[in-house]
Amino acid sequence: MATPTGYPRELVHDARLRDGSVVHIRPIRPDDAPRLQELYDRLSRDTAYQRFFTVMKRLPPDWARILATVDYRRRLALLAEHDGPHGVELVGVGRYEPTDEPDTVEVAFVVQDAWQNRGLGAILVREVLDAADARGMRRFRAYVLSDNRRMLDLITRFGEVREHKMEQGVTELVFTRRAEPVGAPRASG
């Protein structure tokens, strides 16, 4: 399919994960909507809940279409795909979305269960923050379930937390990007 206007080709590349497997990272396109639904179908209940704070039977087609259609500036999503025995499959998504504050975007991430803990989440966080920064977005907001240590730790690895609120089991963080991540080494890619 032809790439949409403004498609940032410079964000397309392959990345090697800690276990040696390779994923292809690229900005999302409108025709990815069905792939987002298929990815949702492969998520465990816990992973789906941690990402969407609700569990749905399927990701509704309208929602998938909205998630897949971005302007690559105020809204951008990066996909990680893997060419495996079942063909090319989406295994992770990181995105940012505008908020009601012009300098702040909301970020969200998901990695398919079998692909978690291999360093893909860290790659997506770093690259989404870098892509946002390159487009002038300097403040980030994330809503994370308060017991989701893994995501909270990833945010503090890459971000400097400026505001922190907790309500009904959900932690809201506002952060800026660190010049250099703290803690774990950078994943290759």
| Closest C-alpha to 112, from 80, 140, 144 | 80
Contacts of residue 7, Cβ cutoff 8 Å, sequence gap at least 6? 27, 29, 72
Token pair of 171, please? 């932690």
CB of 1 to ligand COA, least distance (A): 26
Q: Which residues ranging from 132 to 151 are in contact with ligand COA (CB under 6 A)?
A: 142, 144, 148-151
The identity of residue 94, as a single letter, is: G
Instruction: Establish if 166 lies at the interface with ligand COA (CB under 6 A).
Output: no
CB of 147 to ligand COA, least distance (A): 9
Residues in contact with ligand COA, shown as a per-residue x/- string from 33 to 72 under the rule CB under 6 A: --------------x--xx---------------------
CB of 35 to ligand COA, least distance (A): 16
Concatenated DSSP letters for 42-101?
A: HS-HHHHHHHHSS--SS--HHHHHHHH---SSSSEEEEEEEEETTEEEEEEEEEEEE-SS
CB of 138 to ligand COA, least distance (A): 19
Report CA torsion sign: 123, 174, 67, 27: negative
CB of 5 to ligand COA, least distance (A): 28
CB atoms within 10 A of CB 117: 13
Please identify, using beta-carbon distances, which residue of 4 and 47 lies nearer to ligand COA.
47
Residues found near ligand COA in the complex (CB under 6 A)? 47, 50-51, 108-111, 116-122, 142, 144, 148-151, 153-154, 184
